[in-house]
């Protein structure tokens, strides 16, 4: 099979629910489609997770696995451990190398734990920053995609005060462009893009702040001059309701929680995290390691199925 159509799934933190949701999702995937998938991580961890997930250890023999050695793995389920942080970093680094070499067409990532990752000496804010560093990308953007609501973020894993500082005309315009280009790639031509305001009521003409007038509005105007169907800034307290009900195809969120809260409210199990601006394709489940239920078999695999389906959309749209 051509590498461009192959999907590589990284195991995530071996102590979290990632291995279990991978096993459940692959068990629910038709065999012919499963042949296009390779899991990058620890076969021993995957076998243990398959047993916990109720799909049986023998099932793992039907999965293509690339074992990436890492000290201490397999680890006890449900505990933050720097060895888990080191392991998940190695899995992702291997997947990036494979994607850059053309051996896989898209990476699907299971969840990692940021504390474990940083304890292991890998000081990233999460997958997005790590992938940007590993690929040499100057910048990257987080898109959360679901059937009725999608949003792309101007900033993600930074403090709120730093997020406000990142709301510049240049960054907002770059975010609009990234979303527009991605939607064109997947066949959504002339996507209607709404840009959320930063301040309450978009600042009320300076009463609650000037950022919306000084930075966001000029970015929207610049995007429109480029032929992008951009609108805004629009007050965030009504925008997501309007987008969810069909007024817009994509929302540009100014900071992490402004986009994540509505997305997790309406599409907690189905939203897919997509990295834009990288030289490789990557998407992910939009949930964490859930250490409290790791190893119990309770983890829901619906989000992993959604991420795999989106990865197929990306590999099918490669030019």
Exposed/middle/buried for 247, CB within 10 Å: 0-12, 13-18, 19+?
middle
Note the helical H segments in 186-279: 211, 217-225, 236-244, 256-267
DSSP 100: H
Read off the pLDDT of each residue in 161-186 and give the average, rounded to a whole number.
97
- Report the pLDDT averaged over residues 240-249: 98
Q: What pTM value is reported for the model?
A: 0.93
Q: Which of 4-13, 53-62, 194-203 has the lowest mean pLDDT?
A: 53-62
Would you give the end-to-end CA distance of the chain in angstroms?
17
Percent pLDDT > 70 in the chain is 99
DSSP at 301 = -
Phi, psi of 107 (to 5 degrees): -100, 130
Residue 91 pLDDT > 90: yes
Per-residue model confidence (pLDDT) at position 1: 53
CATH 3.40.718.10 maps onto the chain at 1-138+277-319, 141-271
In which band, very low, low, confident or very high, does the pLDDT at 129 lie, cut at 50, 70 and 90?
Answer: confident
- Which CATH number fits the domain 1-138+277-319, given the four candidates 3.40.50.1000, 2.60.260.20, 3.90.1530.10, 3.40.718.10? 3.40.718.10
Q: What is the pLDDT of residues 49-74, one digit of tens each?
A: 999 999 988 899 999 999 999 999 99
So what's the pLDDT on residue 159? 96
Q: What pLDDT is stored for residue 4 in this prediction?
A: 83
- CATH entry, 141-271, from 3.40.50.11540, 3.90.110.10, 3.40.718.10, 3.20.20.70: 3.40.718.10
Tokens 């609108």 locate to: 231
The mean pLDDT value of the chain amounts to: 95
The average pLDDT across 87-95 equals 97
Tell me which of 2-6, 34-38, 172-176, 247-251 is least confident: 2-6
Residue 254 has pLDDT above 70, yes or no: yes
Q: Is pLDDT above 80 for 319?
A: no
H or E stretch at 230: strand 230-234
Biggest CA–CA distance in the chain, Å, is 64
Instruction: Name the strand (E) or helix (H) holding 302.
Output: helix 302-316
């Amino acid at each position: 099979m051509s590498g461009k159509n192959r999907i590589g799934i990284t195991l995530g933190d071996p102590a979290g629910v990632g291995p279990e949701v991978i096993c459940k999702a692959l068990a629910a995937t038709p065999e012919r489609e499963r042949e296009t998938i390779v899991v990058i991580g620890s076969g021993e961890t995957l076998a243990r997770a398959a047993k916990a997930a109720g799909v049986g250890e023998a099932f793992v023999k039907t999965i293509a696995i690339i074992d990436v050695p890492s000290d201490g793995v397999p680890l006890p389920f449900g505990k933050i451990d720097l060895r888990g942080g080191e392991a998940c970093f190695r899995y992702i680094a291997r997947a990036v190398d494979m994607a850059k070499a053309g051996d896989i067409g898209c990476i699907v990532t299971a969840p990692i734990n940021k504390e474990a990752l940083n304890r292991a000496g890998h000081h990233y804010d999460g997958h997005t920053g790590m992938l940007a560093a590993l690929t040499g990308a100057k910048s990257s953007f987080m898109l959360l995609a679901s059937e009725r609501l999608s949003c792309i973020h101007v900033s993600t894993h930074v403090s709120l005060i730093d997020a406000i500082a990142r709301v510049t005309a240049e960054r907002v315009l770059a975010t609009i462009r990234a979303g527009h280009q991605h939607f064109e790639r997947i066949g959504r031509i002339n996507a209607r893009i709404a840009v959320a305001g930063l301040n309450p009521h978009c600042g009320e003409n300076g009463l609650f702040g000037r950022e919306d007038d000084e930075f966001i509005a000029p970015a929207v105007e610049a995007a429109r001059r480029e032929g992008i169907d951009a609108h805004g800034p629009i007050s965030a307290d009504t925008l997501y309701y309007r987008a969810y009900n069909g007024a817009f195809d994509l929302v540009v969120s100014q900071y992490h929680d402004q986009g994540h809260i509505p997305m997790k409210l309406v599409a907690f199990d189905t939203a897919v995290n997509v990295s834009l601006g990288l030289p490789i394709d990557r998407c992910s489940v939009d949930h964490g390691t859930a250490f409290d239920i790791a190893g119990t078999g309770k983890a829901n695999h619906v989000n992993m199925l959604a991420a795999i389906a989106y990865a197929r959309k990306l590999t099918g749209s490669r030019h």
